[in-house]
Structure formats: structure tokens, C-alpha cells
Amino acid sequence: MLTLKWQKIKVLKDSYELLEDVLLANRNINPDSKESFFSPKIWDLHDPFLFEEMDACVDRIIKARDDKERVVVFWDYDVDWVSSTAMLVKFFHEIWIQVSYRLPHRVTDGYWLKSYFFDDLKENKVSLVVTVDCWTRDIEALNHANSLWIDVIITDHHTVPEIIPQNIIWLINPKNPKSKYPNKWLSWSWVAFKLLHALSLRIFGKAEVEGMIKKYIDFAMLWTIADCMELKWENRVIAYLWLKQLKHTNSHWLKKLLEWSDLNNLDADVVWFKVWPRLNAAGRMDTPYKALKVLLAWEQNLDEALAEIENLNLKRKESVEKFIRIAKDKVDTSKNVIFYDSKDIEHGIIWLIAWRLCEAHNKISIVLKDEWEKLVWSVRWPSFLSLIPLLDSCKDLFEVYGWHDQAAWFTIPKKNFVEFAKKIEHWVKKYIINVDSTKTLIIDTVVSIKDVDSKMLLLLNRMMPYWIGNQKPLFLLKNIKFDQISYLWKDQKHLKFAINWSKLEFKAFWMWEHYSKLVRCGEIAIVFELEKNIWNWRESLSLNIKDIII
């Protein structure tokens, strides 16, 4: 059975006695962990000294402080590294370390460490570099740093190669086979935060450590969400604590970015929709230094810095919409792989175009920027397949190559394009023969309309924050007949439903095209999220309809 949006449904539990037990079981939360799930504490965080080399890292940084050495935080140009860099720079200043920062240029330097970076640092008498998610694989550059007597501490969360450069004396990576750290799925900013956590434990007392964690939690949270990390274990702890103290944050930049938001009714996704896009636009459309300027600015200097990134974010949105319109007219969506190329598209938005095309068509989408003799690619693919094995087998065709979950990026000489395009088309055609690409909507349980009340909403609020790994519960309401169906607003893009005897509100956003079909229906089933609606200071329960079965 398919829904109006052509999705399959999977109901995890058909009935229940206690809704709380069902929702926790669906998220693999056992009864012994219930208290820590609903009310996590700062001291639920793992000991940062479980990292194999954390003691040595802390010793080296404290030595740099005591000896007044020059320290540089080295980072790449996306918002994940911006937030980590700002966090470490501010904290190092606070503990009296002489610190500055350095980043590569997106186009001229590209990703990863380069040997010539260390030549510049040596000239400026830098003796310690702390990298923020710079790859453990940069062996040549790290050997060069060692030859210049520059010590390097690497904070990273990528898979560790079999051969780790011996000259990297300090490596903080949860995926390091030597590490005893329990949580292997930390975001980039979270790994850097653990370094801050360890330094705080060494330098301050317990009460001050708690204050430091609260003070810098905004930075750690930023890329936990932006990097789509699952809100499980420690990630949930940090998200919960962040949301709990959001109204009282000391971060001037965060206050400004959320100044028109109701801080009493926010969830983790506010980072995804309101904070991250603005900061990330700086690196996408100009220089990430402008995002860093916002994160490091004093309150009196903030307005000018924020105005810059607001303008860049507007430019990014306009540019994305422009190229999406062009791509829709140009690409062939009947093929298994969607290709779109352009000489005019900006480097920083090719991944956004690939992502939007993939989301719209549920197909592998490749966007290419034409740069004379080479093509710069960004690839996105649906969750029902993985291109990593294919891309790994073709890496000899690429000049630069990297990947992440459901995404990859690489540079390829034009002369290799046809060969790679044939390989990917052949592979996908062979692979998808036995693969069902229909999207599946995961529903927690079936409810009756009498179960939808303020108690249910209270339980759902206790389970916040919601994000990947703790999705907002979806419910199925069967055999429901509406007395009224109409358009929600004048633009006629959204629908509202009513039952004469019920005070519940029913809304379906972006389902206008189904209006004529629905008004002719008898009983239907709806898939919904329960929300609180506030209008003119009046609160009501609102069922946000995500899909409909007729």
C-alpha cells in the first residue's frame, strides 16, 4: 500500500498499553537507561582521558602555555571546522595561550594539510599546531612539519589508516584502534570539545569544569547537528544540555541569530534551519573567515559581522535557486544517474545542487563544475545504496577524492570523464535491478483519536531534542472522516481539516495538489506528528499531517 506521496509505510508497533514504553523500545532504550535518556547530566559525559593520547596532548598544550610558545589552530573552510576553531581559539585565550589560526583557500589550496603551510608557520615561529579535523592521512605534510620541529596534535574523526605516521605523536580520534573511548561517532566539533574538556579537568575544579562545558557547549552542538550526527549516547547529552540552557546562552552570536525565535519552543533542528546555513554561506560564497569573525566577535562588533553573512546567505539562496531551475530544465531524470554540469556554478554550492536533485528524484545526482581541463564533482546518493565501493575502485581516475555518508567529492581530468560515466551507469543499472527504491515511512505506532491529548504532548516534549537517531515520533490514525477540508491560507498550497466534535487542529503542508481527491473521500488514514500551536496567545493541539492513505 502506497501513500499519497508514493511512500510505503512500516508500523513498528500496532498497539500498546503504555505509549512511553513503545516509544523508548522503538529507539532501543532499555528500562535501565530511561532516566539518563529523559534527564541526562553533564557528568554522563565520558572521561576524555579515555582517548589513548589525551594525557600527552594536554601535557604538550600546558607546556606551550607555560613556555609562552606560539600555537596555531589549523582548520578547513566549512562550518564544522569554523565552530571548532572558534571554540579552541576562545578557550586557549582564556587559559592564557598565545594562539592564532590558519585556514586554506577553498579553490587554491583545497582540502587537507600541505607542506608549504608549515613553511609559513615556521617563519612565524610557531612550534605547536592543533588541527581541527585535518586528516590523519596527510603523511607527507606531517613528516615535513616534523623536519621543521613543529609539533602537531591532530583532532579527527575519520577512519584511521592502517599506517599512522610515526611523527604524529598526538592523535585524538575516536576511531583510532588504540582508543578506549566508547563513543566512536563523535562530530568534528565534538572531538575538539573533548580536548577542551580534558584541559578543563586538568586546570580547573569540578564546579569550574561544569561552567566551561556550559560556556562552550554552543560550539560543540553546532556541528553535531550540521554534520547530521545521531543524537545517541553522548551526542544526546550535549544536545539536551544545549537545549536546556539555550534561553540563557552567553554566546552573543547565537542570541542574535535566534533573536526572533521563541526560545521556549525550539528543537535541535533550529541549528539546521537557522544557524548553520548563515555561517556556512560565508565559506560557500566568500571566505569562512567571515563566519569565524561572527563566532569570535564581541557583542559591540557583532552587527556588522552578522550583516555580512546575512547578505552572503541571501546570495547563496538566490544562486542555488537559479541553478536548480536551470538544472531542472537541463537534466535527464529518466536515467539512473543524474548529471548536471556548469562552468558558471560556484564551487561552494555544487554539493547543495547535488543534494537537492537527489532529494527531488531519489536518484544518484552528480553536479560538475567545468574548469578547463578538469571537472570538480559533488555526488549525492539515496540511502538505499552506497557508491563507495564503486568510487574506491575508480579512484585512479581522480586527482582528488573524498567521501562521507551518502556523499562524495572529487576532481577528475576531462579525459577520464567518459570512462567513469560508463562505469557508474553500468554499475547502477546492474545494482538497482533487485533494489526497491521506494521510500519507507517509519511509524511508531497506531493511535486512536482519544489518545491524542495534552499528556501525549507532554511525553513527546520530555523526549526532546529530536534529530537523526531520535526522530520525532510519527503516529498512524486510521478510519478518520473529516467534516471539512479547505485551504489553509490564501496561497492555497496547504490544507486544513476539521472534525466538528473535536478541538484538535489538522494541517497538511504542501499537499494542495491532493485537495480535489480528498474532498471526495470517505474515511482515510493519516500519518502525523503532534505539535503545540500558539495563535493569539491561545494554545491548541495540532496534528501536522505528513502523509495520507486513502
CATH number for 413: 3.10.310.30
Range 523-543 average pLDDT: 90
Helices (H) and strands (E) in the chain, counts: 19, 18
User: Which CATH number is 543's domain given?
Assistant: 2.40.50.460
Residue 491 is predicted with a pLDDT of: 77
Asked whether residue 475 falls in the same domain as residue 377, the answer is no
Whether 81 and 26 map to the same domain: the answer is: no
513 and 533 inside one domain: yes
**For residues 171 and 537, what is the distance between their CA atoms, to the nearest angstrom?**
53
Answer yes or no: is pLDDT of 434 > 70: no
Residue 103 has pLDDT above 80, yes or no: no
Mean pLDDT to the nearest integer, 75-95: 83
Average pLDDT over residues 408-414: 88
- pTM of the predicted model as reported, rounded to 2 decimal places: 0.84
The secondary structure of residue 413, as a DSSP letter, is E
Please report whether residue 306 resides in a domain. no
Q: Does a structural domain hold residue 485?
A: yes
Task: Decide if 150 is inside a domain.
Answer: yes
Same domain, 489 and 541: yes
pLDDT at 543: 97
Taking residues 216-231, what's their average pLDDT? 86
- Model confidence band, residue 108 (pLDDT cutoffs 50, 70, 90): low
pLDDT at 473: 97
* Co-location of 467 and 516 in the same domain: yes
Identify the weakest region by mean pLDDT among 150-164, 182-196, 383-397, 510-524: 150-164
Write the DSSP string, 97-159: -EEEEE---TTTT-SS--HHHHHHHHHTTEEEEEEES--TT-HHHHHHHHHTT-EEEEE--SP
- Pick from 510, 517, 507: which is nearest to 545 by CA? 507
Residues 212 and 89 grouped into a single domain: yes
End-to-end alpha-carbon separation of the chain, Å? 10
- What is the pLDDT at residue 137? 66
- Structural domain boundaries, residue 341: 331-434
- 388 with 336, same domain: the answer is yes
Q: Is residue 300 situated within a structural domain?
A: no
Q: Are residues 489 and 411 part of one domain?
A: no
Residue at 286 is within a domain = no
- Average the pLDDT over each of 194-208, 373-387, 396-410 and give the range with the smallest value: 396-410
| DSSP-based helix, strand, coil % in the chain, nearest 5 | 45, 20, 35
Give the angle 222-226-228 at the CA atoms, nearest 5°. Answer: 125
> Cα–Cα distance between 493 and 516 in angstroms, integer?
13
Q: What is the pLDDT of residue 23?
A: 97
Of residues 357 and 400, the one with the higher pLDDT is 357
What confidence tens digit (pLDDT) does each residue in 182-217 have?
988 888 788 899 999 999 999 998 889 999 999 999
Contacts 24+ apart (CB under 8 A), 91-98: 91/196, 91/199, 91/212, 91/216, 92/61, 95/65, 95/199, 95/203, 96/65, 97/61, 97/64, 97/65, 97/71, 98/68, 98/69, 98/70, 98/71
Q: Is 287 within a domain?
A: no
Residues 120 and 215 placed together within one structural domain of the fold: yes
Do both 21 and 50 map to the same domain? no
| Residue 275 domain flag | no
Residue that the C-alpha cell 478541538 belongs to: 503
- Residue 63 included in any domain: yes
Given a cut of 60, is residue 79 above it in pLDDT? no
Boundary residue ending a domain (250, 265, 285): 250
Q: Looking at the structure, do residues 49 and 82 belong to the same domain, yes or no?
A: yes
The DSSP line for 329-371 is HHS-TTSSEEEEEESSS-GGGHHHHHHHHHHHHSSEEEEEEEE
Q: Which three cell numbers stand for residue 32?
A: 535501565
Query: Of residues 382 and 444, which shows the higher confidence score?
Result: 444
Which of 194, 219, 250 terminates a domain? The answer is: 250
Q: How far apart are CA 59 and CA 170, in angstroms?
A: 11
119/189 same-domain check? yes
Largest CA distance in the chain: 79
Among 100-109, 256-265, 539-548, the range scoring the smallest mean pLDDT is 100-109
CATH number, domain with residue 123: 3.90.1640.30
Residue where one domain finishes, among candidates 233, 250, 267: 250
Distance of alpha carbon 184 from alpha carbon 230, whole angstroms? 11
More confident residue, 467 or 135: 467
Phi first, then psi: give them for residue 176, nearest 5 degrees.
Answer: -65, 125
- How many domains is the chain built from? 3
